[in-house]
Amino acid sequence: MTIREVRASGLECLALATELLQRARLVDAEAGLWEAADLQWWWRTPRRSDTIDQLFWIDGEGPVAGVVLTDWGRAWGCDPIVVRGVSTIPLPTVWARAVEAIDALGLEAIEVLAREDDSELLSLLAGAGFVADDDRSGITWMDARSRPDVAALPDGFALVDRAEQMTRPHPMRQRNGEGVEARLRECSLYDPALDLAVEAADGQAAGYALFWFDPVTEVGMVEPMRVEDAYQRRGLARAMLTAGLDRLARRGARRLKVGYGTDAARALYVGAGFRVTSTSRSYARRRPVGCEDTAE
Ligand SMILES: CC(C)(COP(=O)(O)OP(=O)(O)OC[C@H]1O[C@@H](n2cnc3c(N)ncnc32)[C@H](O)[C@@H]1OP(=O)(O)O)[C@@H](O)C(=O)NCCC(=O)NCCS
């Protein structure tokens, strides 16, 4: 099948990335790092990368590969994505075009998250001078039929969703900006009834968690999950998680996925029945921009 290159930015890029990741998931139940919902979550706040033209390869049915560059502030993330077994564009070609794009944009600090079992990407990263950091993150999966029973909240707390509770400001605005809810509503997979929060008796948001149902892949995903420091270790995360997973299953999710970056989060998810299927490390390259900047 003929493959052509297209470039897209902003919401058009997000739509292509969504199709690309959905296709990758339909081909392989656990391949790669990201669901389409992950990239939709990244859309929650405006970024410089929204305006750049990102590269995709498309066949008659849609995208088969792409390079997604994301401005995280501290560095730019680079995600070379290939639908393996379908794309005739191999990962080394996608990676070479990613490096070209990074150079063309003059980006100094780049981070690439790579699975520890992705030997092809790991060797490309080593060849390009990327160095791993010490932290490991991971991905966990669960069959929706194995989901835990919904756990009760401790007294004095209430579970609310964004479909029923619109009078208070969105609890994610403090970390993600006032525009977070408007940005989320631009995402095709965002569902206010799966946007949960726990409120304390005085109405304060004690925690929040967002669940994403993808009707194409029938995957239900959790991202983010947060309980504010003052309210931790009282079972609030477990209550939100089990309630959200139940809503995802009722919506039609057959498989459930969540990634973790900390021991506490891993313990929460494994304790709820998720199984770690892959671990990842972040690889970074920081390029000196001038002589005076090379000293660390
Ligand atoms: C991870 C987090 C959501 C847990 O919230 P929480 O309401 O305190 O969690 P719960 O009280 O419901 O705990 C449920 C289980 O999670 C695990 N857990 C929670 N906090 C933990 C910690 N600090 N260390 C180890 N395990 C922990 C335990 O298994 C716990 O069960 P237990 O209390 O019976 O031992 C919270 O610490 C948080 O928001 N952290 C910062 C943001 C974050 O890392 N989010 C996850 C991103 S993937």
pLDDT at position 254 is 98
- pLDDT band (50, 70, 90) for residue 289: low
Cα–Cα dist 125/119, whole Å: 10
- pLDDT band (50, 70, 90) for residue 1: confident
pLDDT at position 294 is 38
CATH, range 4-136+280-287: 3.40.630.30
pLDDT at position 293 is 40
For atom 39 of ligand 1, which residue has the closest CA?
A: 226
Coarse DSSP helix, strand, coil percentages of the chain, rounded to the nearest 5 percent? 35, 30, 35
Ligand 1 atom closest to 227 (CA): 39
- What's the whole-number mean pLDDT along residues 172-188? 97
Please say if the pLDDT value at position 292 is more than 80.
no
The answer, yes or no, to whether any atom of ligand 1 lies below 6 A from the CB of 229, is: no
Sign of CA dihedral 188, 192, 198, 201: positive
Cα–Cα dist 180/177, whole Å: 6
By most ligand atoms within 8 Å of CB, the mutation choice from 150, 232, 260, 263 for ligand 1 is 232
Share of the chain above pLDDT 70, in %: 97
For atom 33 of ligand 1, which residue has the closest CA?
A: 233
pLDDT at position 296 is 37
Q: How far is the CA of 263 from the centre of ligand 1 (A)?
A: 9
Torsion of CA 47, 53, 57, 60, to 10 degrees: 100
The 10 Å Cβ neighbour count of residue 235 is 17
Note whether 243 and 159 are within 8 A (CB): yes
Nearest CA to 40 out of 57, 20, 66, 17 is that of: 17
Ligand 1 atom closest to 269 (CA): 16
> Which tens digits make up the pLDDT trace of 58-109?
999 999 999 999 999 999 999 999 999 999 999 999 999 999 999 999 999 9
DSSP string covering 23-79: HHHHH-SS-SS--HHHHHHHTTS--GGGGSPEEEEEETTEEEEEEEEEE-SSSEEEE
DSSP string covering 64-106: EEEEEEEE-SSSEEEEEEE-TTT-SS-HHHHHHHHHHHHHHHT
pLDDT at position 287 is 79
Nearest CA to 112 out of 145, 140, 79 is that of: 79
For atom 48 of ligand 1, which residue has the closest CA?
A: 260
Between residues 289 and 232, the one the model is more confident about: 232
Please say if the pLDDT value at position 120 is more than 60.
yes
Go through the chain and tell me how many residues it has.
296
The answer, yes or no, to whether any atom of ligand 1 lies below 6 A from the CB of 272, is: no
Q: How far is the CA of 237 from the centre of ligand 1 (A)?
A: 6
Cα–Cα dist 158/142, whole Å: 26
> Cis omega (within 30 of 0) on the bond before 224?
yes
Contacts of 254 (CB under 8 A, 6+ apart): 143, 144, 218, 219
Q: How far is the CA of 117 from the centre of ligand 1 (A)?
A: 27
- What's the whole-number mean pLDDT along residues 200-224? 97
Average pLDDT in the chain: 95
Ligand 1 atom closest to 241 (CA): 12
pTM of the model: 0.96
The answer, yes or no, to whether any atom of ligand 1 lies below 6 A from the CB of 262, is: yes
Domains 4-136+280-287 and 141-279 share a fold: yes
pLDDT at position 165 is 76
The answer, yes or no, to whether any atom of ligand 1 lies below 6 A from the CB of 226, is: yes
- What's the whole-number mean pLDDT along residues 98-127? 97
Q: How far is the CA of 227 from the centre of ligand 1 (A)?
A: 8
- What's the whole-number mean pLDDT along residues 217-244? 98
* Boundaries of every domain in the chain: 4-136+280-287, 141-279
pLDDT at position 288 is 63
The 10 Å Cβ neighbour count of residue 229 is 6
Supply φ then ψ for residue 69, to 5 degrees.
-105, 130
Please say if the pLDDT value at position 143 is more than 90.
yes
Is it true that domain 141-279 has CATH number 2.40.100.10?
no
Share of the chain above pLDDT 90, in %: 95
DSSP string covering 267-292: HHHHHTT-EEEEEEEEEEEE---SGG
The answer, yes or no, to whether any atom of ligand 1 lies below 6 A from the CB of 235, is: yes
The answer, yes or no, to whether any atom of ligand 1 lies below 6 A from the CB of 268, is: yes
By most ligand atoms within 8 Å of CB, the mutation choice from 41, 227, 240 for ligand 1 is 227
For atom 26 of ligand 1, which residue has the closest CA?
A: 264
Please say if the pLDDT value at position 198 is more than 70.
yes
